[in-house]
Structure 1
Amino acid sequence: MLQNQSHLFNLPQDITYLNCGYMSPMLKSVAEVGVRAVYGKEDPTTIKPEDFFKNGELLRAEFAKLINVKNENLCAITPSASYGMANVAKNLQVEKGDNIIIPEGQFPSNVYAWKELEKEKGVKLRIVNAPETAENRGKLWNERILEAIDSKTKMVAIGHIHWADGTKFDLKKIRERSREVGALLVIDGTQSIGALPFDVQEFQPDAVVASGYKWLMGPYATGMAYFGEYFQNGKPIENNWMNRLDSQNFANLVNYQDEYQPGAIRYEVGESANFILTPMLTESLRQVNAWGPANIQAYCKSIAHEAQQALAKMGFQVESADYRSEHLFGIRLPKGLDLEMVKNRLAADKVFVSVRGNSIRVSPHVYNTKEDFGCLLHSLKQV
């Protein structure tokens, strides 16, 4: 079993950081890569033409390994989840009267792109509300999503888990139902990929996006995406020299190309070779792949399980294990307990979590311990 990995980080000793869903701490190894890269540009002659493409190849290979993509050219380097979703929106074939399914309270980057399609093309954004019950909440929510998919559905845009409280969505069943009506399945994996096993061969999504600065353990302004067969001949939102065919040949760049790079590389952001951020994200993905998402899940469960049981006895609500992740979960307060008071208590005790909607969102990682959850419990007992 994976052991505690706090020695690989530089987190302050006087805080309890249970907030990787907000932003991961930087691995020492990733910071070292970044510092070397910053100083590397002091001598530009050290950056060779082939480095513009080698950096991307290495990063795509690590991401492809993480989500089990057989062809790394189906992966693309992006600066954010919203960038990937913008490429999906540009190439989604919809017309007035069609609908797009999303769950209630989804992260804005997986909402605004579809709201623009509502305005532009008259497609209906169908929001599936969460049940107002604590019992079987995740199960009922999944059932509602499946029921909402109909013959006019063109896409289900959803996370593997809900970003606010960790509710897990049954992607296999949603994929089966969406395929029955010819709808796409587009996944925002920002709050899951890297910590929760995700297999493209198993779920068969049409597109996947993920920001890099959370569970991929990389720097801000980085991200990755996967684009399946539906998008193989699409049009990117950005036309840069690197996403055109044969751009590796610098001497031939003045002979402009109409054709794009193969696979999903056409959807990459300009300057994707980014000689600082791209190597940093590559290094962080190497470490994530070395740990393994299944091992990360098991570790988080091992340090959180007793605290979750204690929370239930105190009257707090945590989703059943069958319908939530181990690396990110929501705690709903007992009736009458003031959320603002809870926030102030946690802040005073230097216990770092997030408040999302009506949940306290707790998101541990391999640098955390059972003692960290003891600190969380102590703060909650005070209120």
Structure 2
Amino acid sequence: MDNLRKGFPVLQQYTYLNTAASGLLPEKVWEFRQDHDLDFLIQASILKEKQGEVLTEVREAVGDFFHCAPNRVALVPNFSYGFNSLLESISGDKKALLLENDYPSINWPVKSRKFETVFAKIDQNLEDNILQKIEKEKPDFFAFSIVQYINGVKLGIDFLKELKQKFPDLILIADGTQYLGTENFKFDETNIDVVISSCYKWLNGGYGNGFMLFNDDIQGKISPKHLGFGSLQGKYKAHEGNFIGKFEPGHQDTLNYGSLKVAIDVIKEKGMENIETQVKKLKNGAAQKFLEAGLIEPWIGERPDIAPLFNIKGDEKLSEKLRSEGVITSRRGDGIRVSMHYFNTEDELKLLFKLLKI
């Protein structure tokens, strides 16, 4: 357990249950950033001459960690940039399926374009709602969060696999920002067409870095249009049909993407299996306690595949009380969002339960 908490100084000051809002910055990432900018200060363009090598290492690290060939990994500054770029590559006469009240950075960009849009309701019949909408409306693509940002409702990877098998022509576009880093994820086994993610939450990569993972079939279904000098720079670009280059048209930031590489190294050092085990223990224990206290809706807490974030009943007064006791959470919707990651402990949850009087 000490190894999982090592390298996060903020844990000495707070009970941090707010990864769903912002992940912690590991010491090793901070050290890399300090060294990088010192090198830039004294080397200037000499440092940037190594940009291609650095970005190749990041791309390969992301691909290796998420089981996706590096020539199908695009590096983008955040989810929203990547998602909007992707939408620009889909013709406006297509029909989109979205989830009601999904993350605004998913639903707003789709609704702002010319796509015909239909919605599936998020409730105890979520999976059936999705299937019925697809069968009735026959959308061309389905864009969704794997984990809902407000209440933690999660679409299971097995369900998504089955969905693609049943509707092979449906393009699945997944936001992994509230999911990736909580459990092992093998992209090429999921049948998802595109996964896009920012990395400042559960991957602890800091801000300004993200990525897109593409399956083998997607290139013939979309037509990316962005181009720039950066589109042909570096390995896996010029000689690979320039597909991922169309999502990387400009100069890439070695500071932020290099931070992601170090963050992945930190996760691998701690062990993804250890991380997944700890997250599972914490989320299951929290779900049971919240259910018993009536702080979350039963249909959410009793789902077979839950995420480590919950929206519990509570007002601004309770939120302020938690903060005064050093317990960091977020106000979301009508409640208080509590999220736990691998560096949290059962003792920290006991403190939370004590303050909630449950």
* TM-score (norm: length of structure 2): 0.88
Q: Deviations over 1:111-145 (max 9, x none)?
A: 1221122xx3xx322222222xxxxx2xx212211
**CA–CA separation in structure 2 for the residues paired with 1:240 and 1:315:** 54
For the structure 1 residues 67 and 248, does the alpha-carbon distance in structure 2 shift closer, same or farther, using more than 3 Å as the test? closer
Look up the equivalent residue of 1:209 and give its one-letter code: I
1:103 correspondence with 2:88: no
**CA displacement at 1:238 relative to structure 2:** 3.5
**CA displacement at 1:294 relative to structure 2:** 4.2
**CA–CA separation in structure 2 for the residues paired with 1:224 and 1:154:** 23
For the structure 1 residues 103 and 81, does the alpha-carbon distance in structure 2 shift closer, same or farther, using more than 3 Å as the test? same
Look up the equivalent residue of 2:279 and give its one-letter code: C
SS in 2 for 1:376: helix
Determine which of 106, 119, 127 is the counterpart of 1:127: 119
**CA displacement at 1:5 relative to structure 2:** 1.8
Look up the equivalent residue of 1:89 and give its one-letter code: L
Residues 1-383 of structure 1 aligned to structure 2 (within 5 Å): 4-44=3-43, 47=46, 51-69=50-68, 71-95=69-93, 98-117=94-113, 120=114, 123-131=115-123, 137=124, 140-150=125-135, 152-178=138-164, 180-181=166-167, 182-232=169-219, 235-236=223-224, 238-244=226-232, 247=233, 262-268=242-248, 270-272=250-252, 274-317=253-296, 319-320=301-302, 322-325=304-307, 328-333=308-313, 339-381=315-357
Alignment gaps of 5+ in structure 2: none
**CA displacement at 1:191 relative to structure 2:** 0.7
For the structure 1 residues 146 and 248, does the alpha-carbon distance in structure 2 shift closer, same or farther, using more than 3 Å as the test? closer
Question: What is the number of equivalent residue pairs in this alignment?
Answer: 351
Look up the equivalent residue of 1:125 and give its one-letter code: T
**CA–CA separation in structure 1 for the residues paired with 2:245 and 2:238:** 15
Alignment gaps of 5+ in structure 1: 132-136, 250-256
- Greater Cα offset, 153-162 or 306-315: 306-315
RMSD of aligned Cα (Å): 2.7
Look up the equivalent residue of 1:141 and give its one-letter code: L
Higher Rg of the two aligned structures: 1
Q: Deviations over 1:335-366 (max 9, x none)?
A: xxx52232222222221112322343222122
**CA displacement at 1:20 relative to structure 2:** 0.9
**CA–CA separation in structure 1 for the residues paired with 2:223 and 2:239:** 11
Look up the equivalent residue of 2:67 and give its one-letter code: N
For the structure 1 residues 294 and 142, does the alpha-carbon distance in structure 2 shift closer, same or farther, using more than 3 Å as the test? farther
For the structure 1 residues 290 and 143, does the alpha-carbon distance in structure 2 shift closer, same or farther, using more than 3 Å as the test? farther
- Asked whether the equivalents of residues 229 and 249 of structure 2 are also in contact (C-alpha less than 8 Å), the reply is no
**CA–CA separation in structure 2 for the residues paired with 1:339 and 1:48:** 50
- Asked whether the equivalents of residues 59 and 74 of structure 2 are also in contact (C-alpha less than 8 Å), the reply is yes
**CA–CA separation in structure 2 for the residues paired with 1:164 and 1:204:** 26
Look up the equivalent residue of 2:301 and give its one-letter code: E
For the structure 1 residues 331 and 164, does the alpha-carbon distance in structure 2 shift closer, same or farther, using more than 3 Å as the test? closer
**CA displacement at 1:367 relative to structure 2:** 1.9
